[in-house]
Amino acid sequence: MSKSIGGVKKQRIGVHVGTAGGSWTAVERAVAAGANTFQFFSSSPRSWKAAAVKPEDAKKMLDLRAKHDVGPVAIHASYLINLCSQTESVRVNATAAFRGEVERALALGAEYLVLHPGSWKGLTREEGLRLAAASIEEAIDGLAWQGKDFRILIENTAGAEFSLGGKLEQVAELVETLKPCAPVGVCLDTCHVHVAGYDIVTPEGYEETMKLVGETVGFEAVKVWHCNDAKAEKGSKLDRHEHIGEGTIGAGAFRRLLRDARFGHAVFIAETPVDNPGDEARNVGVLRTLAAG
């Protein structure tokens, strides 16, 4: 979907949008916000039930994306999914729900499906990682993802106790475990990085943290950055998003990230609050301004 201008790839900056009226309306909302990429939920993020994708909706979405040059597109998986739960019935439901997420992503032509792996409470971290990998492998078994421009992106988490992905090393381990059997990559969230205890605020801390990103998950594996400022302090483990430049991370960190050539291939998507009409466009606009200099 990316186009080049004078040999330079157009930067992809977007926002999470709603789908009221049909999934294809997400494209129109993204364009109205000044975005050229976006993220959405393919079903209610707090419900196990989801309707199948209507072929006409999928076609409308693809046609509108082509018309407006919008993409890549990310779907965020349901918050209910816990693929490393100690409870088998929960894990069975989560695996079935995640299979539905993959089916809908493929039907809609989404390039990315972002996943929080879940909580391994009651288990060891190694057991949780093994269960998460096995559940993902089971969920995609038999689905026709091969040869398609599609990846499951493991997202880092805010670092809460027992949450798989609170450390970059855990994300890297899960990705490496999945590589032989699944199309996989990484989504990093600025708020999660910050509240998990990594410094991206100071120039020196930013470089140290990015060095660690390179040594663990690897720069090329990071396909999406969720750009969210934070209400809480570094290391607090509280996942509370704030408007860009108005939280404890601040504009400087986003300027460095958006201009970091190591992520020239990645897309940047805001998941910032919608407190007032126009907040999506405002945050996209701030990100574009920061990216420009």
DSSP string of the chain? ---EETTEEPPEEEEE---TT-TTHHHHHHHHTT-SEEEE-SS-TT-S--PPPPHHHHHHHHHHHHHHT---EEEEPPTT--TT-SSHHHHHHHHHHHHHHHHHHHHHT-SEEEE---B-TTS-HHHHHHHHHHHHHHHHTT---TTSS-EEEEEP----TTBTTSSHHHHHHHHHHHTTTS-EEEEEEHHHHHHTT---SSHHHHHHHHHHHHHTT-TTTEEEEEE-EESSPTT-----EE-TTSSSS-HHHHHHHHT-GGGTT-EEEE-----STTHHHHHHHHHHHHHH-
pLDDT in tens, 62-111: 999 999 999 999 999 999 999 999 999 999 999 999 999 999 999 999 99
Does the active-site annotation cover 46? yes
pLDDT at position 71: 97
The catalytic position among 241, 243, 280, 282 is: 241
**112 within 8 A of 187, measured Cβ to Cβ:** yes
Is 68 an active-site residue? no
Spot the catalytic one: 103, 111, 229, 239.
Answer: 239
Confidence grade of residue 258 (pLDDT, cut at 50, 70, 90)? very high
Residue 113 has pLDDT above 60, yes or no: yes
Angle 179-180-185 from CA coordinates, rounded to 5°: 15
Q: What single letter denotes the amino acid at residue 15?
A: V
Predicted local distance difference test score (pLDDT) of residue 38: 98
Give the burial class of 246: count Cβ atoms within 10 A of its Cβ; 0-12 exposed, 13-18 middle, 19 or more buried.
middle
User: Tokens 């789908």 identify what position?
Assistant: 19
Mean pLDDT, range 260-286, rounded to an integer: 97
Question: Active site includes 88?
Answer: no
pLDDT confidence of residue 46: 80
Residue spans of the domains in the chain: they are: 4-292
Catalytic residue among 28, 271, 279, 288: 271
> Looking at residues 184-199, what average pLDDT do you find?
98
Average pLDDT over residues 269-282: 96
Given 12, 29, 65, 76, the catalytic residue: 76
Active-site position among 79, 127, 169, 233: 79
189 a catalytic residue: yes
Confidence class for position 175, pLDDT limits 50, 70, 90: very high
Q: Catalytic: which of 65, 226, 243, 282?
A: 226
Q: What sign for the dihedral angle of Cα 240, 244, 245, 249?
A: positive
pLDDT digits (tens, 9 = 90+) for 27-69: 999 999 999 999 999 998 888 888 889 999 999 999 999 999 9
* pLDDT of the residue at 165: 94
pLDDT one-digit tens code per residue, 193-215: 999 999 999 999 999 999 999 99
Q: What is the mean pLDDT of residues 127-141?
A: 95
pTM: 0.95
| Whether residue 151 lies in the annotated active site | no
Active site residue 173: no
Percent of the chain at pLDDT > 70 equals 97
Q: Is residue 198 flagged as an active site residue?
A: no
Q: Which of 71, 66, 68, 92 is nearest to 81 (CA)?
A: 92
Q: How confident is residue 5, by pLDDT bands cut at 50, 70 and 90?
A: very low
Superfamily of domain 4-292: Divalent-metal-dependent TIM barrel enzymes (3.20.20.150)
Average pLDDT taken over every residue of the chain: 94
Predicted local distance difference test score (pLDDT) of residue 93: 95
Using 50, 70 and 90 to split pLDDT, how confident is the model at 146? confident
- 16 in catalytic set: no
**Nearest-CA neighbor of 29 among 244, 281, 267?**
281
Q: Which of 123-132, 143-152, 264-273 has the highest mean pLDDT?
A: 264-273
pLDDT for the residue 2: 42
Which pLDDT score, from 0 to 100, does residue 207 have?
Answer: 98
What is the Cα–Cα distance from 255 to 41, expressed in whole angstroms? 27
pLDDT band at 7 (very low <50, low <70, confident <90, very high): very low
Residue 243 carries which side chain, given as an amino acid letter?
A: H
Check whether 158 has a pLDDT greater than 70: yes
Would you state the pLDDT for residue 96? 96
Per annotation, catalytic residue among 29, 91, 99, 116: 116
User: What's the pLDDT at 234?
Assistant: 97
